[in-house]
């Protein structure tokens, strides 16, 4: 094919790429600003675009300073965040997958009505449930414990996760269920050996949402934990920023980068499954 016959991009496509490029730049720029600000001297003034990339030196020791800060056990905060986030993700996946299987594969009276009622709970703001949840957790004696930090969390997204998985489960051919039952599988066996392996992208999608919401949440861990040893990373480093960093912007940006990095890494690792799960769950069924 000659060069003259090569298809030329249309004006609309060029404009679309330019708009997407602008969106990408405006999305990435704050994170670039945060990262390079964190490398300035901890007592430096808030940098501008003129001196953002020209500090008096690159101070990577800011990260060691925050992570080893003597008056706050940052590593303990990180361990708490890992434990709470892992527990919430597993709990969320268990609840949502079982509920979605019931709504997608089982036949019982009032199934669609119950599913509609579950979806209606998505319209209830999470803040409305904070006080009842706090009172319940207090009466159970779970305040300042991992149980109190983990168990109430699925109220945030159980309906959404169930809806997402149910939309995916209905796309799995029922002939696979029948074949599994002929091989002697029980209802739970069909769920475990047929549905879950086929729905791996949707499960990853729900897990990513649960991970991001839990890791970045500030309000509930602040209420449910009272001791320093039970604080999560988000709450602990906010205390560091308010009480110890003051207006020391490089240290505040360092703390923000520390909180952000695990979420970014987790999303990049699971991005392929996440996009596939969203597309297939939202388009099919």
The pLDDT tens digits for 13-63 are 888 889 999 998 998 888 899 999 999 988 888 888 788 888 888 889 988
- Please state, in angstroms and rounded to a whole number, the distance separating the CA atoms of residues 171 and 285: 6
Instruction: Please state the domain extents for the chain.
Output: 3-63, 66-283
Q: What is the DSSP string of 128-174?
A: HHHHHHHHHHHHHT-TTSHHHHHTTGGGGTHHHHHHHHHHHHTTS-H
What pTM does this model have?
A: 0.82
- Please state, in angstroms and rounded to a whole number, the distance separating the CA atoms of residues 143 and 226: 8
Residues whose CB falls within 8 Å of the CB of residue 261, separated by 6 or more in sequence, listed in order: none
Cβ-based neighbour number of residue 4 at 10 Å: 5
CATH superfamily of 66-283: MetI-like (1.10.3720.10)
The predicted structure's pLDDT at residue 283: 44
Residues whose CB falls within 8 Å of the CB of residue 8, separated by 6 or more in sequence, listed in order: none
Residue 282 has pLDDT above 80, yes or no: no
Highest mean pLDDT among 40-44, 164-168, 273-277: 164-168
- List % helix, strand, coil for the chain (3-state, nearest 5): 75, 0, 25
CB environment 201-238: b (16+ within 10 A), e (fewer) = bbbbbbbbbbbbbbbbbeebbebbbeeeebbbbbbbbb
Please give the angle made by the CA atoms of 73, 267 and 258, to the nearest 5 degrees: 25
Rg (CA), the chain: 24
Q: Per residue in 182-198, pLDDT tens?
A: 888 888 899 998 899 88
Q: Per residue in 114-159, pLDDT tens?
A: 999 988 888 888 778 888 889 999 999 999 999 999 988 766 568 8
């Amino acid at each position: 094919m000659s060069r003259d016959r090569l298809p030329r991009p249309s004006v609309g496509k060029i404009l679309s790429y330019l708009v997407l490029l602008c969106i990408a730049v405006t999305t990435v720029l704050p994170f670039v600003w945060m990262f390079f600000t964190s490398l300035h001297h901890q007592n430096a003034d808030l940098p501008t675009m003129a001196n953002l990339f020209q500090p008096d030196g690159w101070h990577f020791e800011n990260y060691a300073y925050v992570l080893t800060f003597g008056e706050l056990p940052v590593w303990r905060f990180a361990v708490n965040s890992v434990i709470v986030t892992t527990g919430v993700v597993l709990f969320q996946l268990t609840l949502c997958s079982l509920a979605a299987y019931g709504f997608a594969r089982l036949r019982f009276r009032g199934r669609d009505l119950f599913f509609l009622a579950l979806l209606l709970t998505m319209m209830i703001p999470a803040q409305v449930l904070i006080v009842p949840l706090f009172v319940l957790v207090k009466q159970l004696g779970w305040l300042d414990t991992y149980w109190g930090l983990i168990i109430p969390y699925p109220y945030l997204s159980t309906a959404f996760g169930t809806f997402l998985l149910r939309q995916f489960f209905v796309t799995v051919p029922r002939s696979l269920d029948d074949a599994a039952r002929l091989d002697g599988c029980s209802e739970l066996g069909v769920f475990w050996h047929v549905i879950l392996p086929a729905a791996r992208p949707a499960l990853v999608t729900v897990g990513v949402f649960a991970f991001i919401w839990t890791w970045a949440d500030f309000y509930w861990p602040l209420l449910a934990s009272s001791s320093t040893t039970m604080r999560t990373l988000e709450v602990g480093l906010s205390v560091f920023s308010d009480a110890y960093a003051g207006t020391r912007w490089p240290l505040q940006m360092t703390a923000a980068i520390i909180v952000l990095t695990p979420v970014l890494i987790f999303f990049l690792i699971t991005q392929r499954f996440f996009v596939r799960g969203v597309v297939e769950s939202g388009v099919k069924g």
